[in-house]
DNA sequence: TTGCAAATGAGAACTACTCTCTATAGCGAC
DNA sequence: GTCGCTATAGAGAGTAGTTCTCATTTGCAA
């Protein structure tokens, strides 16, 4: 997993993420764990999710309101983007345009290095739209 | 400008943004105003920038750390993206790929509506790279 | 079984932002 | 010019989300 030790907390967080298809906030994950009877500190949830995101084991993104969302992705290593429902978090992986060459050319053109990009799509999914 | 009244505060914020090419946070703008002798409340800076962003008078984006940055753009109405230096905020407007048709097709494919997208580039500019 | 560093948890702290409420001040009418 | 209405401003409290601190616990190699 992340560090060197396998703990009850990390195992529980990993297991929860495996059974969860959609993006969830750290707070939601904390609540879901509590509902499963896993009493894990919020700080530990944040720490673990952060470490997993750094290790590339989960994908993370930020909503327009500044909240971080996490999700275990089917294809963690390959580059992809997400279409996320802004009300329920339902997530679809989408194959974005290939931006690698664009990134390289704009970086070179303007003398920038270490250029990263963020591309995410937010919308309202069918069931949330009809629920309204 | 935004609402109906022209106030000292709004004029000062507008003038500052005009002389500023790069993305700045609300807090930085507040500090810059104070350095110019404009004693304007932080809440007013936030309110004004928020209103300007809603009105399309300034562009806003969020950094990876969840901070909102603001900038008066050369082409406010036309759709464009930004390459932003993560240490000094230096900004270049870039012509991104045309995502409109992609957005429409993925929205239709997955039954999503009101789909928006965010695409920003963050890097290190030449002077910040050599300063290190 | 022991020792020790990694990991946890509770709660304080922090950051960025928003709200509340009273005072101030644009600006159209006179 | 001045009056009056009400949009706007400012101070400071409040909020949400996240991170830090530090004492305690625990995984795991020896």
Q: Using the CB atom, is residue A7 less than 7 Å from strand D?
A: yes
CA angle A30/A33/A36 to nearest 5° reads 155
Q: Would the pLDDT of A78 be above 80?
A: no
Q: Are residues B31 and B12 in the same domain?
A: yes
Nearest-by-CA chain A residue for B98: A97
CA of residue B47 to C1' of nucleotide D3, angstroms: 29
Domain boundary among A53, A77, A101: A77
B9 and B72: one domain? yes
Strands (E) in chain A, as ranges, are: 24-25, 59-62, 68-71, 81-85, 91-94, 113-124
Q: Please report, for the domain that includes residue A13, its CATH number.
A: 1.10.10.10
Residue B70 · residue B29 · CB < 8 Å: yes
Note whether B66 and B98 are same-domain residues. Answer: no
CA-to-CA separations, B117 to A63, B63, B79, B99, B114, in angstroms, rounded: 11, 15, 11, 9, 10
Indicate if the alpha-carbon torsion angle B19, B62, A110, B77 is positive or negative: negative
End of a domain among B32, B47, B77?
A: B77
Lowest mean pLDDT among A8-12, A78-82, B14-18: A78-82
- Whether B5 and B54 map to the same domain: the answer is yes
If asked whether residues A71 and A93 sit together in one domain, one would say no
Q: Please give the residue of chain A at the shortest CA–CA distance from B121.
A: A117
Would you say residue A117 has pLDDT above 60?
A: yes
Question: Angle between the A42-54 and A26-35 helix axes, to the nearest 10 degrees?
Answer: 120
Domain of A112, CATH number, reads: 3.30.1490.190
Q: How many domains does chain A have?
A: 2
> How confident is the model at residue A98, as a pLDDT?
84
Give the CA-to-C1' distance from A55 to D14 in angstroms.
Answer: 36
Estimate to the nearest angstrom the gap between the alpha carbon of A86 and the chain centroid.
14
Measured CA to CA, the distance from residue A83 to residue A59 in angstroms comes to: 13
Same domain, A118 and A131: yes
* CA A3/CA B46 separation, integer angstroms: 41
Q: How far is A23 from chain B (nearest CA, A)?
A: 16
Same domain, B95 and B34: no
pTM of the model as a whole: 0.88
pLDDT exceeds 90 at position A65:
no
Domain ends where: A77, A104, A121? A77
Residues of the domain holding A17: 1-77
- Identify whether residues A5 and A63 lie together within a single domain: yes
The confidence score (pLDDT) of residue A131 equals 81
Average pLDDT (B13-42) is: 96
- B67 and B88 inside one domain: no
Q: State how far the alpha carbon of B48 is from the alpha carbons of A75, A129, B41, B52, B75, in Å.
A: 42, 32, 11, 6, 20
B61 & B82 share domain: no
pLDDT at B74: 75
Q: What is the pLDDT of residues B68-118, one digit of tens each?
A: 999 998 765 678 899 999 889 999 999 878 888 999 999 999 999 999 898
The predicted structure's pLDDT at residue B3: 61
Confidence of residue A48 (pLDDT cuts 50, 70, 90): very high
The protein footprint on chain D, as nucleotides within 7 A of a CB, is 7-13, 16-21, 26-28
> Is there a single domain that holds both residue A70 and residue A94?
no
Confidence of residue B131 (pLDDT cuts 50, 70, 90): confident
Q: What pLDDT is recorded for position A74? A: 75
B121/B108 Cα distance (integer angstroms) = 27
Distance from the Cα of B36 to chain A's closest Cα (Å) equals: 30
Q: Which two tokens stand for residue B130?
A: 């050599």
Q: What is the model's pLDDT at position B21?
A: 87
């Amino acid at each position: 997993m992340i560090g060197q030790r396998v703990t009850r907390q990390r195992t529980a967080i990993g297991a929860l993420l495996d059974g969860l298809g959609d993006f969830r906030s750290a707070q939601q994950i904390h609540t879901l764990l509590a509902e499963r009877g896993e009493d894990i500190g919020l700080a530990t949830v944040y720490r673990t999710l952060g470490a997993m995101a750094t290790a590339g084991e989960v994908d993370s993104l930020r909503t327009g309101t500044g909240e971080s969302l996490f999700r275990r992705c089917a294809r963690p290593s390959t580059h992809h983007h997400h279409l996320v429902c802004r009300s329920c978090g339902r997530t679809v992986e989408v194959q974005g345009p290939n931006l690698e060459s664009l990134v390289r050319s704009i970086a070179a053109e303007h003398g920038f290095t270490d250029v990263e990009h963020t591309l995410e799509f937010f919308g309202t999914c069918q069931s949330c739209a009809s629920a309204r």
